[in-house]
Amino acid sequence: MSREWTKNLRNIEPYVPGEQSKDRDIVKINANENPYPPSPKAVEVLKNFDTNNLRFYPNANSTRLKEAIAKYYKVDVSNVFVGNGSDDVLAVAFQSFFNSDKPIVYPDLTYSFYPVWCSLFGIEYKNYPVGDDFRINPEDYKEQNGGVVIPNPNAPTSLGEGLDFVEKILNYNQDSVVIIDEAYVDFGGTSSIPLINKYENLLVTGTFSKSRSLAGLRIGFAIGSKALIDVMEAVKNSYNSYTVDSLSIEMGAASIEDDEYFKSTCQKVIKTRERVTLELKKLGFDVLDSQTNFIFATHNEHNMKSLFEYLKTQKVFIRYFSLPRIENYVRITIGTNEEMDIFLEKTKEFILNDNR
Amino acid sequence: MSREWTKNLRNIEPYVPGEQSKDRDIVKINANENPYPPSPKAVEVLKNFDTNNLRFYPNANSTRLKEAIAKYYKVDVSNVFVGNGSDDVLAVAFQSFFNSDKPIVYPDLTYSFYPVWCSLFGIEYKNYPVGDDFRINPEDYKEQNGGVVIPNPNAPTSLGEGLDFVEKILNYNQDSVVIIDEAYVDFGGTSSIPLINKYENLLVTGTFSKSRSLAGLRIGFAIGSKALIDVMEAVKNSYNSYTVDSLSIEMGAASIEDDEYFKSTCQKVIKTRERVTLELKKLGFDVLDSQTNFIFATHNEHNMKSLFEYLKTQKVFIRYFSLPRIENYVRITIGTNEEMDIFLEKTKEFILNDNR
């Protein structure tokens, strides 16, 4: 048969997702997942769920979840968008707002999905390199553009900025939509959500996958002016009206209402992060000042790719990026204290035996 | 502040999802949902789910679910794609395959989301009107095009066609990708899945929302040649690597493995459909020969919009489309026998009291 039909197939470079393993023996500190289980209140919702209701479509507006998020962040329900993980939320935002003939702008070192969405949706983009200290310079973001995306805190650098920084970006960019991606903000960062009433062109995105231990459920959200949220709703409802399933709506709402558990697990992660940072520094590592649930570190006398590979043989999975400027860095997710003790022990072993 | 930033917002007509209600008193036969609960095997998976695992991202390849679907349909895992409901699956397929300068083609009376996706992705389309008997004429589909979408059985007409019909369409369209949308096939239709080995340009889509009573979970799938599935995977992984959550993967797999329960509930729906069809005919309705979990009916002497409105006052929700050619038709989902008795009783009341 003819192969003529193949000529209109989309030609796209497949994104390769990170390593996964079914082996629960491994210390899996490579995907910025939370080491603690989800809120017991969310688990209770799952166990008591009336499964007969699964035969119905989910509430198309995810009302219960949106209301819980709105209440938590002290905004109106009309300021809240929810989606199937923050990747879905960001992808909808890119489609909704970035339709200019000017390129959108974001830092060179950041979340690897931004250029992937640009390629999928045909959006031009331009990167501003972060400084030698890996910090984003707000003065770079003064040029006319088709939109701005700033991850705060940034990944994989782990560095966060304050509201003065975000307001600078907003003041330089009153003619574009500015997205602040706050996937990691709950581990010590500063949220820009209070600024949405002052800046109608500001969209803040978040996720339940890190600080709320619900990566497996796929819940992301965005908070912004009604003008922005309405466009996102229209785009979402033109793609799939039911992106958030019935269980995620109910469990997500129960999770955000359990603030005590949330705060205690975030604090545990932060405390472990500070301890591991100190221990790594004692071993001679340079560790960036993290406001996230991971640390970004390097060592002057040792090869980080070798460390990554050695740890893998020891069933400790961390993350290494073979990218310019960060080719001698590793990204280490904060696990439980027990997991981090294994990581530190194996890292010491590597340092002692490494003849670079 | 300036409103300059609003000029690059996506301008899109929001799709308005169908009516939903929290009131469980109503007879809700307006959304083609299944009246029976999901498989007890799927429910068991939910109740026994190790919720600690929700802190991990789902398996990015949904392997457990794909393997169960592949086994059920006797195809290779590389022939299976899964997504967040069949709306997500179809949207990915439209993006993957319809990149021609020629319009794609589909019937005028069909699923209302096809033109919505075309608008979202900038795809030109052309409709071929179904016949006066609401049947699709395969001879219409001979012209060169950028792709073909045929729902089989079709909605809202409820009419299905056999493999001879599908092979005609395929033979006329060897230079395009042909999508057969089988959302309703399990209620008496004929599946084209066995043809995928013969036609590399054929993609068949399905859903767990109707016959498997899992609309609330969002599970859709597609089956086709590895050439087609690979492109869909690349597009999906450029949008969101984790569209199917961990619970849906496990519950979906358990559901498709429970064939006995599946067959018995489908048979119950079919039996009720046949009974309701007879009863409606006794009341003077014209009822199309349904191969789905709904019936499409009209009455020469009564106004169907009035029937729809009257039933609503009686807490019986059916579906009415204010569209040319079908403005005197109603679409009635098959509920339980008890629900359909209420529907029939209220419909009789309407007929008796209606002075058209």
- In this prediction, residue B341 carries a pLDDT of 98
Rounded Cα distance, A182 and A204, in Å: 7
Is A14 a residue whose pLDDT tops 70?
A: no
Mean pLDDT of A124-151: 97
For B223-232, the pLDDT digits (tens) are: 999 999 999 9
Nearest to A33 by CA among B247, B152, B57: B57
B234 CA to centre of own chain: 24
Rounded Cα distance, A130 and B215, in Å: 45
- Cα angle B74, B75, B76; round to 5: 135
Say what the alpha-carbon torsion angle B194, B197, B201, B203 is, to the nearest 10 degrees.
40
Contact A109, A157 (CB under 8 A): yes
Which pair of tokens denotes residue A129? 């390199």
- In this prediction, residue B154 carries a pLDDT of 98
Q: Give chain A's mean pLDDT.
A: 95
At residue B298, the 3 state secondary structure works out as: strand
Q: What is the ipTM of this complex?
A: 0.95
- Cα angle A277, A278, A282; round to 5: 115
Tokens 């006794």 appear where? B282
Choosing among B245, B261, B293, B339, which should be mutated to test the A contact, i.e. which has the most A CBs within 10 A?
B245
Q: Which residues of chain B lie closer than 8 angstroms to A234, CB-CB?
A: 10, 12-15
Q: Do A96 and B9 touch (CB under 8 A)?
A: yes
Q: Do B51 and A46 touch (CB under 8 A)?
A: yes
Q: Which residues of chain B lie closer than 8 angstroms to A49, CB-CB?
A: 46
Choosing among B21, B23, B57, B246, which should be mutated to test the A contact, i.e. which has the most A CBs within 10 A?
B57
- In this prediction, residue B303 carries a pLDDT of 97
For B232-271, the pLDDT digits (tens) are: 999 999 999 999 999 999 999 999 999 999 999 999 999 9
Which pair of tokens denotes residue B107? 């019937």
Other CB atoms within a 10 A radius of the CB of residue B77 amount to 15
Contacts with B250 (C-beta within 8 Å, 6 or more apart), sequence order: B45, B49, B64, B65
Confidence of residue A12 (pLDDT cuts 50, 70, 90): confident
Mean pLDDT of B87-100: 96
Rounded Cα distance, B46 and B72, in Å: 21
Confidence of residue B88 (pLDDT cuts 50, 70, 90): very high
Q: Do B15 and A238 touch (CB under 8 A)?
A: yes
At residue A186, the 3 state secondary structure works out as: helix
Confidence of residue B19 (pLDDT cuts 50, 70, 90): low
Contact A111, A255 (CB under 8 A): no
Is the pTM above the cut of 0.90? yes
Choosing among A47, A48, A172, A239, which should be mutated to test the B contact, i.e. which has the most B CBs within 10 A?
A239
Q: Which residues of chain A lie closer than 8 angstroms to B116, CB-CB?
A: 238
- In this prediction, residue A4 carries a pLDDT of 81
Rounded Cα distance, A277 and A274, in Å: 5
CA atoms within 13 A on the CB side of A115: 12
Q: Which residues of chain A lie closer than 8 angstroms to B239, CB-CB?
A: 87-88, 91, 117, 120
Q: Do A38 and B55 touch (CB under 8 A)?
A: yes
For A189-232, the pLDDT digits (tens) are: 999 999 999 999 999 999 999 999 999 999 999 999 999 999 99
Mean pLDDT of B89-110: 96
For A253-305, the pLDDT digits (tens) are: 999 999 999 999 999 999 999 999 999 999 999 999 999 999 999 999 999 99
Nearest to A2 among B2, B17, B175 (CB): B175
Amino acid present at B260: E
Q: Give chain B's mean pLDDT.
A: 95
Confidence of residue A185 (pLDDT cuts 50, 70, 90): very high
Backbone angles phi, psi at A295, to 5 degrees: -125, 150
Amino acid present at B170: L
Is A171 a residue whose pLDDT tops 80?
A: yes
Distance from CA of B112 to the nearest CA of A (A): 11
- In this prediction, residue B1 carries a pLDDT of 57
For A48-102, the pLDDT digits (tens) are: 999 999 999 999 999 999 999 999 999 999 999 999 999 999 999 999 999 999 9
Tokens 């109608």 appear where? A200
Is A172 a residue whose pLDDT tops 70?
A: yes
Choosing among A245, A319, A334, A339, which should be mutated to test the B contact, i.e. which has the most B CBs within 10 A?
A245
Mean pLDDT of B48-62: 95
Mean pLDDT of B210-229: 97
Residue of B nearest to A35 (CA): B55
For B146-176, the pLDDT digits (tens) are: 999 999 999 999 999 999 999 999 999 999 9
Which pair of tokens denotes residue B29? 């036969």
Contact B212, A51 (CB under 8 A): no
By the 10 Å C-beta count (0-12 exposed, 13-18 middle, 19+ buried), B213 is classed as buried
Rounded Cα distance, A26 and A315, in Å: 5
- In this prediction, residue B14 carries a pLDDT of 67
Tokens 């920084």 appear where? A165
Whether residue B38 is preceded by a cis peptide bond, meaning omega within 30 degrees of 0, is no
- In this prediction, residue B171 carries a pLDDT of 97
Alpha helices in B138-245 (DSSP H): 163-172, 226-239
Amino acid present at A211: S
- In this prediction, residue A110 carries a pLDDT of 95
Confidence of residue B356 (pLDDT cuts 50, 70, 90): low
Residue of B nearest to A12 (CA): B234
Of all residues in chain B, what percent carry a pLDDT higher than 70? Answer: 97
Alpha helices in A59-213 (DSSP H): 63-73, 85-97, 113-121, 163-172
